[in-house]
Amino acid sequence: MMAREPAWRIFAFEFNDSMFVPKTGQEKETNYILTRMGAKINRVLISGIIENKNIINENTFITGIVNDRTGTFHISADKNYSPLKVWSYLFSIEPPVRVLLVGKVRSYGESKNLDIRVENITECDSFIEDYWRLSAAINLVERIKIMKLALSEEKDKLLNMGYSEESLNSIFAAIENFKDTKIDAYLKTIKEMFGISQEEKNPEDVILQLIESLDFDGKGARYEDVVENALKEGFERTRVDEIIDSLLERGLIYEPSVNIFKKL
């Protein structure tokens, strides 16, 4: 049994920055695109506004444009092949309508245009659209993180770090095919989209958080427990001591008894 293709949450600007994966000539071959950021996609889940639609070919084919605020997707439905529910929904709506839809990628026409054949679609509210945008962004940033590693590390090392072979293959293929990865431009787009400014996570906050969460009985957190847990967060022991001293000095924590710390 073949695995069901996952539905990628993907923004239009990445979706359109892609290439078709060359076919190997086997029967019933799955269509894939490979994006610049290393997503190998057959099925997508997208959300946005249907801006317009056209009913063509003597009422047997519908095309439409979905705008997700980063770009546009071309979508389609076929009277004979699409699910009846999908067909009648698209047939009846009057754009603009906010939707969430799932569909499969395909190419059409002489110039091999990229298109999404709708499998299921529903009208949605802005909450669902926001949710979708966040999921798509997290997914993209996660891939960017792996891509950054892939630019400097061997594949074996990344496999050992727990990344799946499949996703690594796509990422390495994207690096090879697109040459320029444009990572910074992609990250900038995401940050602008969500109004995120550059801020590092403060190490003092991390230790303070640990002291609070390890205070099981309200009497405070034990020094050894804090160090043990901080080491796993990547801190060095001496650094933990420094931070604890500084937190004590600044009066953010106190020491109710020897080597027990409590958040004030």
Partner 1 sequence: MDDKEIEKYVEDLYKELDGKISKEELRKIFNIWLSYNYSPEKVKEKILQKYKPGRILKIGEIKEEMKNINTVGKILTIKLTEKDGRRTYSGIIGDETGTIPFTTSREMPFKKGDVVRITNGYSGYFKDKLRLYIQQNSGVEKLDNYKIERVQTVPSKYTIDKIEGKSRNIETKMRILYAEERETNGKKRVSGIAGDNTGTIPFTAWNKKLEEGKSYIVKGAYAREFKGKIYLTIDENTEILELNEDVPVNEKIITLQEAIKSGIATGWFEGIFLEVSDDSGLIARCPVCRKILKGTECPEHGKVTPINDVIGKATFDDGTASGKVIFLRNEMESILQKNFEEILKMVVSTPGIPVIKEELEKRILLKPYRILGKLSVKDQNFFNITIFEIKPIGNKELSELKERLMGMV
Residues in contact with partner 1 by CB under 8 A are: 1-9, 45, 100, 102, 119-122, 124, 127-128, 130-131, 134-135, 137-139, 141-142, 145, 162, 164, 167, 187, 190-191, 194, 196, 201, 213-214, 216-217, 221-225, 228-229, 232, 258-259
- Quote the DSSP letter at residue 64: E
Closer Cβ to partner 1, 81 or 108, answer by number: 81
CB of 113 to partner 1, least distance (A): 25
Cβ distance 112 to 3 under 8 Å?
no
| Full strand arrangement of the beta sheet holding 18-20 | 18-20, 33-35, 40-41
Closer Cβ to partner 1, 46 or 174, answer by number: 46
CB of 119 to partner 1, least distance (A): 8
Cβ distance 101 to 121 under 8 Å?
yes
Closer Cβ to partner 1, 233 or 236, answer by number: 233
Helix, strand, coil shares of the chain, percent, nearest 5, are 40, 30, 30
CB of 109 to partner 1, least distance (A): 28
CB of 111 to partner 1, least distance (A): 29
Cβ-proximal residues to 138 (8 Å cutoff; 6+ apart), any chain: none
Closer Cβ to partner 1, 61 or 223, answer by number: 223
CB of 59 to partner 1, least distance (A): 26
CB of 101 to partner 1, least distance (A): 8
Closer Cβ to partner 1, 19 or 45, answer by number: 45
Interatomic CA distance for residues 161 and 164, integer angstroms: 9
Closer Cβ to partner 1, 55 or 187, answer by number: 187
Alpha-carbon distances, residue 193 vs 39, 78, 130 (angstroms): 20, 34, 11
Interatomic CA distance for residues 95 and 66, integer angstroms: 10
